[in-house]
Chains A and B, each alone.
Chain A
């Protein structure tokens, strides 16, 4: 049986079912207990599982991720919440220096899933809107997941929690209560590292992940009327990422637009562009196009933030430009 669930509620269901499945799974973070987290994602879990498994912590992101590492070494399966992914900057050393290197150096696996809301367009400024995923893809030892639908959010979170490696699960805070789709009631997983084709097309491959997926689909619908077909690929997991699906699509379209909400310069799109250039050169008919945010801190004012983020018009322009080749 499935029913329509909001993105946030699908995440909560994954947490609940993983906690029911495995007594070693537990949640902790700032305001996650009675209050249910600042976005209400963990709401009611405190009542269901009690203070041992759903626990508020002091405002100490470094100590939160430190706890996750130690608890995982001891055999638990911690699921810490970092209130905003922006705050990971205060916990970089535990994350990057200890957690990411632990299995390689000490040989002990760390099954940790860090949930962290990411992304902008909510007018909450530079310190609550950033997309930092490229830093963590650049860090060997971390898996990075960015779901765009409620269905994916649940299935990918289940996979992340069951995975025996540290996973950074970047929830799209803009989608929490904006997106609703069909989600099965039972527990299920979606393998990490598998992209999904959101809409098929033969002219241009558009690679994206997270909330810009919806912008890409809007562009695809508009462009179709002009006879330009976009094939929209949602990566879902950006480390590891699904090279095969990308290559297969690009071998058909010979054109690619890479879209993300993160700053364009040295964003994850740069890695994708390099992949197309290095491994798919023989299929290339046109320049590789990248769309991302401006190289500025994130402004709060809507006029400025909208201009900061990649827009629908940017996609339309890029697509029309590519069709000239």
Chain B
């Protein structure tokens, strides 16, 4: 009797292990959470210093076109107009996503619907390879091939948004494709069966059921691709020309938020306005990726499929 009582009132070895495991998991989660909060705090405190300490107006920062943080204009306010970079970042992001999406859809359909076995066998390694290539290699290839080709075909220096778009296109293509492949595979088999059983051809089934059911997945994939394009620094910096001018066409040198950050990083002194202005750019980047994340979550919530 006493034995049973003791057994029941004392935690067993398994229960203790369970508790330890939980504690470790919570601790790790807490650590990561703390890390994220610290990063947010650091970027925000530096990034906002431009506006609070150096009294640059947010509106001017977002809409003025003159970027030269170490200089001041006639009125004595610093030249920190980030519009050219914001426009540059958004253009390369949107153009590369628009360009990559049809290719990604075609590749994903080929791999899942049209030729699942051979398609996956050949394209899967190709995609994995494309993901694994370091971005400096993309930039280097862009610099030696894309830039001269753009220069020969369209004139100008060859540096600019078009070259940036083309390089980013190759970089986001595997992201969008592999994510879309996953969501096509998640379309339940019984949707296809139901459609075929109603007398649909294979093609009708693909575009009336499979594509339609996977639209949320496609949007998520595109946004992930855009997030990658938006945050890519090195490869873009190598081919875009790095002129902080508002781009008027696709083949004149321009710049993005990331390219200005990487080029300017080493040339500023901590705590000064030029440095704070760079942190503000970083803050915009951070906020944008937060936006991308929220959109992805929203779409994921809306477009849930049947199990």
Partners in one complex: no
- Residues on B lying within 8 angstroms of A by beta carbon are none
- Residues on A lying within 8 angstroms of B by beta carbon are none
